[in-house]
Every structure is written in structure tokens, then in C-alpha cells.
Amino acid sequence: MLGFAWDAYKPTDLASAEAQAIEWDVVVIGAGMGGGFAGLSLAQGGKKVLFLERGRAPASSRGRTPGRIARLMSDQHRAEALRQRGRWDKRVAVMVDGKRATVQVPLGNGPGGSSAVYGAAVERYMRQDFTGEHGANAMPGVLSNTWPVGYDTFLSSYRAAEAILRPSGTRDPCDADDDARLMPPPALSERDEWLAERFNAAGLPAYRVHVAVDYLPGCTECLGELCPRMCKSDGASRGVIPALVAHGAMIALDCEVDRLEMDGPRVAGVRARQNGRDVMVRATTVILAAGAYISPLVLLRSAGPDHPKGVGNHHDLVGRGVMFHVDQMFAVWAPRHLSTSGPVKTFASKQLYVENGKRIGSLQALSGVVEAGHIEEYLRNMLPVLPLAVFNLGVRFGCRMVAMIAARVFAGAVLFSTKTEDFAYAENRVLPDAQSPSGFVVQYTFPAELAERAQAIRLAATRKLRAAGVRVFFLSRMRNLNFGHAAGTCRMGTTPDQGVVDASGRVWGTDNLYIADASVLPTSAAINPSLTVAACALRTADTILRAETGDRC
């Protein structure tokens, strides 16, 4: 993806009179996993598709590489480095339990969105994730976690997404419905074989994670980074780029959408800013796929006479019910003499998905080794950016020293993570905030029941693995929210008072506006949402195509 000729597929200058007169069949706001897959499907169906993407074309480097001192001193360089790596370049204001902070959220920015820099795990939700089981609906303040579409109906969309992503892995013994068509994964290292055997002995049946990587010769997996060869399947490599190259779609980069201009129930145009100029883009159909943080903001900013609280917000649900995952990193050790030559993304277990009637979560490998660079970046992102560069120099130097010491302490360890589902509380939300660098704030009250479930999986995993002879040490606290997995802020619902969109992704009360990103998910499950986002996007595109023939899915 790094070497793709993006400029060959840009439209005529959007600010020109010629471009202003064009009405596209479909405008897709956002070129991530949801937008990429929806746009590809519609372009394949003969639609004239235009992607509007806030980010710019990714690049491995731009100009002279700054020296070490410049990298330490300059916050502006840090933002530029994030943009070059395809990452969101502005820190986000969060207010958790009444305490305000700014954090660097691990999001993507550019073609492929967050999927361009994700860990490539593409797993299905389990059947129970669609049903609202295990008591979430009974708790005060929790929004419905029952999907308006059942697992059996949704299954065809999962299979279609998997056919595009081509994951490798093995079937999950804890999921009776797992019939994914998988490519054979590369062999585990001796060390990871030993660990998988210990997991099985602990009563935690292991399976190879479904990973969307082709594993070409010399593959380094590019987990968490942009892929230079497009062997990692993401929203750009498997969605946007095929739509551009084979099906006539176009993409406008550096194009940040501000609002939708509404004409009653229809979107009349999309107002955006590109290269410092205001533009208006018109389309027969608009798909909002800017992610669970930005999509609700666009709807709220689009308020007008017919939509006084924002588009789709008649029941005050836009931005509400934001869900994350609680991720707890832990280290495990294997005998030092075992070879570590093998893939990084290895195995997982869902044996603890539900225990004693509660959703406590899943376990999944994170990385093959504990490295100082990873620890330093994790620490730096958790700390605020200070006003003076000299203070930031001290913070960064301190993070580097701590990381170097920690890397020695954890030499030979392998990182895993627990993942615990978050339920959708109405009070937890995303709101516009002019004081935040990113223009929004996350307001979140950490539920006591979530802390209890996070503690339950921590204790269960520790007890079982230690009983099987594995040394375990947890690095993360129990309230570690994964802000990169935001979902549910424009959730699906059976009726307008239960959700912002219907089962097809169409915004209630509108004729030609759909949403196709993680914001529509009614549940966060205990699984990476990427595959489910892709499947929802394909389902939305299919609905749009079927509507022309009067056939509804």
C-alpha cells in the first residue's frame, strides 16, 4: 500500500465549478474497513463511487529524517511521524470517572483507516453475541444489546467478508458455529508450541487466531504498522484499491467532512474542507463510515430545522452507548532453549468467554517478544503532552529509561491479552468539544460490573495457567480501556427509539443516508470488531443495490 499511486485516482479538483456540478451515485465518507468494503461492493455493482478521506496518502518517509534530538524535542515532529505511519495525529480528550485527560488513541488515518495499522485479527462474533444473553439488558442504564438481525441471517455476510480478507488460522473448538474457510497458518515456533500445549493442559483450548495476512515469503506481518506489499488484508488493500483500479471509483484525500446538508429526509450534499478550501459534494446515496468517534459528530454537526438535535438523533441516541474493550496485558514465559522462529500472531482461547453466567472474555497472543520500543510507545501515549518541549524531553527520556529496564526484566517473555466485553451504557458517550485537540470528548463512567468481570478473567487465567506450570505476570491494570476499539455510538436498533440505524445501516428518518463502521455495532463482544464491521458494510451495500430492484434483504 505504501507504494500505491493514489494520485492517479483522485477526482477533478472538488472546489472547481465542474466538480461542484457532479452528482455521484455514492459518496463514502471514510476509507477504512467499513467504507472500503461498502465502496468496493457498490463499485462492483456499477455505481460511480467517490471516497472522501481525511488522511493523506501513506508514505514510509517524507523528506529528511530528523535527528535523535529533534525527535525528542519536537511535538510537531511527533504528529508528523504519526501521519506518516498512517495514524491519527491528534490526541483525544477523555473524561473517565470525572477525571479529564488527553490520550493518543491508536486509530488509523488515511486509506484503510484503523485497519491499515491493525493487528489483522479478523474473528467472527459468537452466536450469543447477537442475542443479548447474560443479563446486560437487565441492568439499569444499559442500552439493548440484542441485534435486529440474527446470527444465521448475518452469516452470509461473514462468509462474504472472509472471502475477501482470506484469513489463515484454525477453527475455534469453543465455537460450534465456526466454519470459516481458512488458509493454513505458518507453523508455530517451538516456544509457542510449548505454550499452546500448556494452554490446552490448563483447560484453555487453543486455536490459531484468524489472521488476515497472506504470509508471502519474507513476510514480517506488519502488525500495528502499514504493510509495504499489500499482503496484509485491510480496508485499503482489499477494499479501496480494488474499487479504484478495477471498478472506476475515485478517492479525494486530505478531505475532512464537516457536515451533511439535509433537504428534509434526504442528504442534499456533503460539506467538507480539502486543502484549505470549502467544498460541497453531491450524491444520490451517502455512506458515513468515519468511525465510532467521528460519525456521530458529523450527524450532530448536521443539525437543522428538520433535524434540530442532529441527523438521526430524534431519540437522543447519537453518540451514546460508546463501548470499548477492557484489555489486560500479561506476560508468560517458556523455556529459554526453545526456538522463537515463527509467526507473531499465534493462538487464542475463548474457553472463558462466558463463565458462571457472565461474559468475562477471551485470551489472545499479542506479540512474539517484549521489546523496549513497544513499552516506550505504550508509556508515552498514556502520558499528557506538556506545554514546553523541554518538559516533554524529560518525560520521553524517563519513558525510554523505564522501557529499557522493563525489557530486561521481561526478556524471553511473550505478551498475551485478555479482552473483556463492554456493555453500552447510555451515559457513556462521545460529544463535540472545542477544547479537545480532536474536537470531541469521550465521557465514560467505568461500571463496577465491568471491573468485576475484568477481575474474574484475570484471576481465572492466572489460576489455570499457573496450575499448568506457566509463569504468569499481569502488566495492565483492570480498568485499561482499549480506546482503539470504540463502537456503538450510532447503534443498530429494531425501532427508531432503540437505535440510530436499522438492520441494514440506514439512518432512521432518512432516505439516502447509511452508516457502515463500528458505530453501528450493538455489542462490543470480546473480539476484535474488524470482520464484523466489514460484514456489516457488505450487508449495507447489498441493501442499497437490492433497493433499486425493489428487493429488500
Contact 31, 236 (CB under 8 A): yes
Instruction: Tell me the one-letter amino acid at 251.
Output: I
- List the helix and strand counts (H, then E) for the chain: 12, 19
User: Does the pLDDT of residue 392 top 80, yes or no?
Assistant: no
Contact 166, 183 (CB under 8 A): yes
Closest CA to 191 of 363, 328, 364, 369: 369
In angstroms, the Cα distances linking 282 to 223, 267, 273, 548 are 37, 8, 14, 19
Q: CA torsion angle for 277, 282, 285, 286 (degrees, to 10)?
A: 10
Q: What is the pLDDT of residues 311-335, one digit of tens each?
A: 999 999 999 999 999 999 899 999 9
In angstroms, the Cα distances linking 79 to 19, 31, 88, 109, 382 are 32, 21, 9, 12, 16
pLDDT of residue 385: 53
Measured between alpha carbons, how far is 315 from 302 in angstroms, rounded to an integer? 16
C-alpha cell at 385: 503532552
Q: Across the chain, what does the average pLDDT equal?
A: 90
User: Mean pLDDT throughout 381-394?
Assistant: 56
User: Does the pLDDT of residue 1 top 80, yes or no?
Assistant: no
pLDDT of residue 66: 44
Measured between alpha carbons, how far is 109 from 147 in angstroms, rounded to an integer? 29
pTM equals 0.92
Please state which of the ranges 57-71, 366-380, 463-477, 528-542 shows the lowest mean pLDDT. Answer: 57-71
Instruction: Tell me the one-letter amino acid at 508.
Output: W
User: Does the pLDDT of residue 75 top 50, yes or no?
Assistant: no
Helix (H) or strand (E) holding 406: helix 389-409
Strand pairing partners for 103?
Answer: 92
Strand pairing partners for 207?
Answer: 348
pLDDT of residue 63: 39
User: Mean pLDDT throughout 193-215?
Assistant: 97
pLDDT of residue 39: 98
Measured between alpha carbons, how far is 33 from 90 in angstroms, rounded to an integer? 21
Measured between alpha carbons, how far is 372 from 353 in angstroms, rounded to an integer? 31
Contact 191, 339 (CB under 8 A): yes
Q: Which residue has the higher pLDDT, 73 or 455?
A: 455
Measured CA angle at 412 (ends 407, 416), to 5 deg: 85
User: Does the pLDDT of residue 369 top 80, yes or no?
Assistant: no
User: Does the pLDDT of residue 288 top 50, yes or no?
Assistant: yes
pLDDT of residue 58: 81
Please state which of the ranges 69-78, 154-163, 540-549 shows the lowest mean pLDDT. Answer: 69-78
pLDDT of residue 70: 46
Closest CA to 524 of 326, 315, 299: 326
User: Of 23-27, 80-84, 368-372, which one has max mean pLDDT?
Assistant: 23-27
pLDDT of residue 412: 77
Measured between alpha carbons, how far is 9 from 26 in angstroms, rounded to an integer? 16
Sign of the dihedral defined by the CA atoms of residues 416, 118, 368, 413, in that order: negative
User: Does the pLDDT of residue 62 top 70, yes or no?
Assistant: no
Q: Which residue has the higher pLDDT, 230 or 246?
A: 246
Contact 297, 69 (CB under 8 A): no
User: Does the pLDDT of residue 73 top 60, yes or no?
Assistant: no
3-state DSSP assignment of residue 20: helix
Closest CA to 350 of 532, 475, 173: 173
b (16+ CB within 10 A) / e for 317-345: bbbbbbbbbbbbbbbbbbeeeeeeebbbb
Contact 33, 161 (CB under 8 A): no
User: Does the pLDDT of residue 284 top 70, yes or no?
Assistant: yes
Closest CA to 111 of 258, 272, 1: 1
With cell 434526504, the residue in question is 266
User: Does the pLDDT of residue 377 top 70, yes or no?
Assistant: no
Measured between alpha carbons, how far is 507 from 265 in angstroms, rounded to an integer? 10
